[in-house]
Amino acid sequence: MKVQDKDREKEVRRHRSFGLRLNLFFFSVFAIFSVIIVRTAMLQFVEGPQLQQEAVSRTTRDIPMQPVRGTIYSADSVPIAYSTPTQTLYATPLKNYSDTDEVGLKNRPELKKVVNELLVKFQELNPGGEQITLEEMLGRDRLDLENIKHYGYMPRKIKTDLNEAEIAYFKEHKNEFKGILSLDVVEETKREYDTDSVAVQTVGYIYKFKSVRENPNFPFYQDIYKTQSTSNDPTVQYQEEENVGYYGLEQEYQKYLRGKNGYKRIEVTARSMAKEGGVEKVVPPQKGNDVWMSINKYIQTETQKAISSQIQTLRAKNPYVSTGFAVAMEVDTGNVVAMASMPDFDPNYYNTGSISGDHYKEIENLYINGTIRAKAPDDQRNKAESVVYMGSTIKPLSVLIGLKEGLFGPSSTYFDKGITYLNESDKRGIKNAGGHFLGNIGPRMAIEKSSNTFMIDKVGKPLLSKYGAGVIDVWDKYMKEFGLGVPTEVDLPGEQSGTIDYTNENESLLTRMANSSFGQLGKYTTMQLAQYTVTLANHGERLKPHIVSKITDSKGKVVYKAKREVLNTAEFPGADWDLITKGMNTQLEGTFDDFPYDFARKTGTSTQQIRGKNIDNGVFIAYAPRDNPKLAVAVVVPEGGFGSQSAAPIARKIFDAYDYEYGLDGVPKKSLQQTNEDGTPINEEESVQNP
């Protein structure tokens, strides 16, 4: 019995051990299959696309195809910057032709034979065209056989601007050099600009991406260059030789104008050489959007002519006068209808994305937009910059500040002796322009007659007495409410805020406040002066100026539309606005005698030290009509002398151009003009002879 019991016990233990091993086996099988299932799912759903892309990328490469850049139109629908088609011949080496290894040297003779045939054909098809040597064709700028500028599989641009005979021939014979070179005729575009040089510095121009990608002045392109190396999307890749916006609207609206790359996916060999006929996929590029300016071509060109003509007139008396700047901005909308920085230049110098040394020397002092930033004159003897003191154009604001701060009332009087002294130790004093004695005047007459002494004695000094050491902060607050010393936020790159030199502690507070009160401290741009003038016309509403009114896609659909935007509002009583509006009534001899509208204006003479003596810069601001303002204009003529004589004549021509095109009273004068059958205007003499 005992033996049987022991055998039975052993059998039980054996069954238990077998069951445990069987359970462990099934658990292990389950665990292994679970891992396999999870890993399979990971491969299929998570890592699959990436692995598939890697597998494809080992045998294929994507060659970007650049899009057609959008057009920049003027407000009157004239294309100012546009892309025109051009045919380019590309060649892709199909073998190793490098002279740095044995295989490449062995293959070179067959390539040279083919290249010589190509050069003969170029000469035959286009005898007067570009003459290319064998060495140039084999060099890094064309076939680049050492792959210095290109990967082995990349097409090389070997000839541009093909004529019709070349296009026809190479399209028909592109497979003639099988196994050696792959030829392809590609339609590309080149950038063209209106030959009238319309708002050149505002529109901008183009440059090669490789020249701006690491330039700290172009952070947008720096960011693209840093991030695109981690992207596998060929539609967003910028190419080294790609033309990109450089200054002006071309730069500001680059992301809209550029469009989106297409690409051609090709097969490559293990040595990263293109396989002949190995095109797997073609995705066409998307054309860039079109940008529509608020700048009107007619008004702009009339503004440019007016400045150029006035410069020539002024140079007869002062040879240092060489530049002039003007901005015209609609009071209701914030539309900039003209923005001129003169002299300008032909932007087609840049239409290939680069500029010759001779052309650069010609324009090196002209390419900066002097209406939004400091610009040195093109005449190196002249040191007057485009950012100048306001002169008497600040006086409407000085009077507003005095009224708001309770320094005087609308009916207060002041006896103007033509000179005032800052303190008892001041022996020189500060005079009115020309030392004019004005007698008893009020704040309105102080603006109209441009009294320096009123501004000093009734604004500068009392404000200092009221606020003491804090007076500069108070003054600065008022200036910035009117856009002086802060960006206007115009849609252009590179805008400067002016020079706030009334904070310079090297001068006493009294001196700074005296000079500030009549516009001899605080330098501002012409764009800031225009925004300031609009703010006066709008009774305190500071509008954001904009140069682009809308953007449309390739089908004409509006994708962006500019809106009226109030940046801030300077609060002053209505009676104060009425006073300064009436005070902006400076007498102008001759310039506006026959102007058919009542308008508000203020001349200014901005004084600065140049060549060891005081030099007067002409400044002028105005808006018209006075009671229902439509257009505000600001003009600056460095070294031009009195604003009434140098800047006002330019403003008159701008107002006339706007009146003709749009109508200062809402009726375009061109619509009232008699025209010939072809639409051209009948001149006055013809109208008299043929009523």
Asked if the structure places residue 162 within a domain, the reply is no
- 229 contact partners, CB below 8 Å, separation of at least 6: none
Select the highest-mean-pLDDT range: 139-153, 271-285, 479-493, 662-676.
479-493
Q: What is the rounded CA–CA span in Å between residue 215 and residue 143?
A: 28
Asked if the structure places residue 27 within a domain, the reply is no
Q: What is the rounded CA–CA span in Å between residue 645 and residue 586?
A: 12
Helix ranges (DSSP H) in 415-519: 443-448, 452-455, 461-467, 471-481, 509-517
- Per residue in 473-500, is it b (16+ CB within 10 Å) or e — as a string? ebbbebbbbbbbbbbbbbbbbebbbbbb
Measured between its terminal Cα atoms, the distance across the chain in Å is 148
User: Average pLDDT for residues 261-276, to the nearest whole number?
Assistant: 76
**H or E element in which residue 627 lies:** none
Which pLDDT score, from 0 to 100, does residue 691 have?
A: 31
Cross-strand pairs, 263: 64, 283
> The tokens 């309770």 sit on which residue?
406
Stronger pLDDT, 333 or 365, i.e. the higher one: 333
Helix ranges (DSSP H) in 570-663: 574-583, 643-646, 648-661
* Least confident stretch, 27-31, 158-162, 168-172, 569-573: 27-31
Q: Which two tokens stand for residue 630?
A: 């439509």
Name the nearest CA neighbour of 291 among 36, 504, 79, 10.
79
Asked if the structure places residue 168 within a domain, the reply is no
User: Average pLDDT for residues 247-265, to the nearest whole number?
Assistant: 90
Helix 164-172 with 102-125: angle, nearest 10 deg: 140
Q: What is the rounded CA–CA span in Å between residue 221 and residue 225?
A: 6
Q: What's the chain's Rg over C-alpha atoms?
A: 36
**H or E element in which residue 286 lies:** none
> The tokens 């065209």 sit on which residue?
129
- Rounded to 10 degrees, what is the CA torsion of 680, 681, 685, 691? 100
Helix ranges (DSSP H) in 279-352: 297-315
How high is the mean pLDDT of the chain?
A: 88
- 536 contact partners, CB below 8 Å, separation of at least 6: 396, 397, 482, 580, 581, 584, 600, 621, 623
Confidence of residue 431 (pLDDT cuts 50, 70, 90): very high
Amino acid at 416: D
Percentage with pLDDT > 90 across the chain: 56
> The tokens 């995705």 sit on which residue?
283
Q: Which two tokens stand for residue 296?
A: 């009107």
Asked if the structure places residue 441 within a domain, the reply is yes
Asked if the structure places residue 10 within a domain, the reply is no
For the cut 70, the answer to whether the pLDDT of residue 109 exceeds it is yes
Confidence of residue 528 (pLDDT cuts 50, 70, 90): very high
Distances (CA, A) of 139 to 97, 119, 236, 336, 615: 12, 14, 29, 48, 56
Query: Three-state DSSP class for 434?
Result: helix
Asked if the structure places residue 686 within a domain, the reply is no
Asked if the structure places residue 508 within a domain, the reply is yes
Helix 471-481 with 395-404: angle, nearest 10 deg: 120
Q: What is the rounded CA–CA span in Å between residue 122 and residue 131?
A: 8
Which pLDDT score, from 0 to 100, does residue 36 have?
A: 78
Confidence of residue 56 (pLDDT cuts 50, 70, 90): very low
Name the nearest CA neighbour of 606 among 490, 691, 496, 526.
526
The answer to whether 394 and 406 have CB atoms below 8 angstroms apart is no
Which pLDDT score, from 0 to 100, does residue 378 have?
A: 55
Confidence of residue 46 (pLDDT cuts 50, 70, 90): low
User: Average pLDDT for residues 304-325, to the nearest whole number?
Assistant: 94
Count Cα neighbours of 285 within 13 Å in the Cβ-side half-sphere.
Answer: 23
CATH of the domain at 638: 3.40.710.10
- 259 contact partners, CB below 8 Å, separation of at least 6: 67, 68, 69, 70, 285, 286, 287, 288, 289
Spacing of C-alpha 532 from chain mean position: 21
Q: What is the rounded CA–CA span in Å between residue 467 and residue 145?
A: 75
The answer to whether 148 and 140 have CB atoms below 8 angstroms apart is yes
Q: How many domains does the chain have?
A: 1
Q: Is the dihedral of CA 101, 102, 104, 105 positive or negative?
A: positive
Q: List pLDDT tens digits, range 208-239.
A: 998 898 888 889 899 988 888 777 777 778 88
Domain that holds residue 662: 297-672
User: Average pLDDT for residues 387-406, to the nearest whole number?
Assistant: 97
Q: Which two tokens stand for residue 118?
A: 């190509």
Neighbours of 568 (CB within 10 A): 15
Q: What angle do CA 560, 633, 445 make, to 5 degrees?
A: 140
Q: What angle do CA 228, 229, 233 make, to 5 degrees?
A: 60
Neighbours of 472 (CB within 10 A): 19
Which pLDDT score, from 0 to 100, does residue 187 have?
A: 83
For the cut 50, the answer to whether the pLDDT of residue 689 exceeds it is no
Asked if the structure places residue 433 within a domain, the reply is yes
Q: List pLDDT tens digits, range 136-170.
A: 888 988 988 888 888 788 888 888 889 999 999 99
Stronger pLDDT, 71 or 680, i.e. the higher one: 71
Amino acid at 657: A
Query: Three-state DSSP class for 612?
Result: coil
| pTM of the predicted model as reported, rounded to 2 decimal places | 0.84
Cross-strand pairs, 607: 616
